[in-house]
Amino acid sequence: MEGREHRNTGTFEGKMAETLSSTTVSTKLERIAQLAREMPQAALTTLAHHINIDWLREAYRRTRKDGATGIDRQTADEYAKNLDDNLRSLLERAQLRAWDY
């Protein structure tokens, strides 16, 4: 099947300390990976129902903070100053599929 030659079947854990939120997020990621393995011909069209504020907060925690700015030219430090509001806004836009840059 084209485009699916390389599949990561390992765990999604890095070397960061575990938190309750990271365990929940990892469990959700494992479930998504399991579904993809069980139904390789199926297209997983939406993952929005798996995303919530805890998911986004954990994703932010796992993100490198010394990398390039985002598409909006905002640094991780700038984003973190208003993290909860930024994550709520991101979640709302993801659920509505409303992306405006």
Write the pLDDT tens digit of every residue in 31-86.
Answer: 888 888 998 888 777 777 778 899 899 889 988 899 899 888 999 999 999 999 99
The pLDDT value given to residue 17: 54
- Would you state the pLDDT for residue 2? 43
DSSP state of 50: G
Task: Give the per-residue pLDDT at 89.
Answer: 94
| Cβ pair 50, 28 in contact under 8 A | yes
Of 5-9, 22-26, 46-50, 64-68, highest mean pLDDT: 64-68
Query: What tokens were used for 50?
Result: 């798996």
Q: Where are the alpha helices (DSSP H) in 4-43?
A: 20-38
Structural domain boundaries of the chain? 20-96
Helix (H, G, I), strand (E, B) or coil at 22: helix
Distance from C-alpha of 50 to C-alpha of 44, rounded to nearest angstrom: 12
